């Protein structure tokens, strides 16, 4: 099972004087289990692209297929979970339970199975079960966002698309989100992240897609991404490049704290071992 995007083009206000091209012949594929980071400037078509992946928008030309089926098929919606930007705004339930159960109950889940599903996704999102009975509006903004994430996870998607999941999150909730992402990686779910925060997400990614003016400017592994000079690079990579310029013999294609630590201790001849907190 994979997502195949082929020659996808899309226009806003098609057929009016305000017509604007949002996507221009975008082609790529996502294999199940991959962690994909989609990045690019504001207005480069990122949000438009992900709205095609779960069929909210129909391509004006080209196609988006999920294991051979057109993405506009409603049954695929439970398989491709989409969490929009500022998802805390979409909450409406009287209780957290009601809100998280919204997705799976729309796909016919009931009673005990539904309860189990809600508990499972609350835990997966890094929340405790006790909050299921309180109103989502009594929670903090960061926790509300995690509830919204649980609301998408509860459909047990095979692909999870997150639009700028870290914007406006405090460090604590961010850590909670990252540990959820790590857990998800082990379950075989494909995670597709749309973000400007390449520092945050490059360490997770196996594939990077860089959009520019609605076209695919770059697609490849994170290492290859760092080689393509035109794109913005993480701060760690710039640090390693600076160290290289100062005469230290360190590799510069480094973008995770662990790799940077190991590389620097190696050059310094220290035997310290990196401990992830």
Partner 1 sequence: MNDLFLSFVPGKSFLHRLDPRTKVLGLMAVSFCILKVSSFEIMALMAIIFAILVIACHLPFLHFVRSVRPMLPFFTFIFLMQLLFTEGTHLFDFGLLKGTYEGFLLGSILALRFIFLILFAALITATTSPSGITSGIERLLRPLPLKYLGISSHDLAMMMSLSLYFVPMLFDSFRDLRDAQISRGLDIRKEPVKAIMSLTVPLVRMALRSVDEVALAMESRCYTGEGRSSMYVLEFRSLDYALLVFYCVLLFLLYI
The conformation of residue 275, written as its DSSP 8-state character, comes to -
Binding flag, residue 247, partner 1 (CB under 8 A): no
The CB-of-184 to partner 1 minimum distance in angstroms stands at 17
Q: Is 91 in the site for partner 1 (CB under 8 A)?
A: yes
Q: Which of residues 120-139 bind partner 1 (CB under 8 A)?
A: 137
Q: How far is the CB of 48 from partner 1 (least distance, A)?
A: 8
In this structure, how many other beta carbons lie within 10 angstroms of the beta carbon of residue 73?
12
Quick one: which of 147, 144, 150, 81 has its CA closest to 120? 150
Q: What is d(CA 63, CA 5) in angstroms, rounded to the nearest whole number?
A: 6
3-state helix/strand/coil string of 67-120: CCEECCCHHHHHCEEEECCCHHHHCCCCCHHHHHHHHHHHCCCCHHHHHHHHHH
32-71 binders of partner 1 (CB under 8 A): 51, 54, 56
Q: 87, 142, 203, 234: which one contacts partner 1 (CB under 8 A)?
A: 87
102 binds partner 1 (CB under 8 A): yes
Residue 22: φ, ψ to 5° = -105, -35
Position 82 contacts partner 1 (CB under 8 A): yes
77 contacts partner 1 (rule: CB under 8 A)? yes
Binding residues (CB under 8 A) for partner 1: these are 12-13, 15-18, 51, 54, 56, 74, 77-78, 81-82, 84, 87, 89-92, 102-104, 106-107, 137, 151-152, 155
């Amino acid at each position: 099972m994979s997502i195949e995007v082929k020659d996808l083009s899309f226009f806003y206000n098609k057929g009016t004087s305000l017509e604007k091209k949002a996507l221009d012949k975008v082609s790529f594929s996502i294999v199940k289990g991959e962690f994909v980071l989609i990045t690019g400037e504001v207005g480069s078509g990122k949000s438009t692209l992900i709205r095609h992946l779960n069929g909210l928008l129909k391509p004006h030309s080209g196609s988006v297929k999920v294991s051979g089926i057109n993405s506009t098929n409603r049954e695929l919606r439970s398989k491709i979970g989409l969490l929009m930007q500022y998802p805390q705004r979409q909450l409406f339930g009287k209780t957290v339970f009601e809100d998280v159960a919204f997705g799976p109950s729309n796909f016919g889940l009931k009673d005990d199975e539904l309860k189990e599903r809600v508990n499972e996704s609350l835990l997966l999102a890094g929340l405790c079960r006790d909050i299921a009975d309180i109103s989502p509006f009594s929670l903090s903004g960061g926790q509300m966002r995690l509830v919204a994430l649980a609301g998408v996870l509860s459909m047990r998607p095979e692909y999870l698309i997150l639009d700028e999941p870290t914007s406006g999150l405090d460090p604590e909730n961010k850590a909670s989100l990252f540990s959820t992402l790590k857990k998800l990686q082990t379950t075989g779910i494909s995670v597709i992240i749309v973000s400007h925060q390449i520092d945050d997400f490059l360490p997770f990614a196996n594939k990077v897609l860089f959009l520019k003016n609605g076209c695919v400017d770059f697609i490849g592994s994170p290492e290859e991404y760092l080689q393509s000079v035109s794109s913005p690079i993480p701060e760690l990579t710039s640090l390693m490049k600076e160290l290289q310029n100062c005469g230290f013999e360190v590799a510069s294609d480094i973008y995770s704290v662990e790799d940077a630590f190991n590389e620097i201790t190696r050059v310094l001849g220290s035997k310290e071992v990196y401990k992830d907190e």
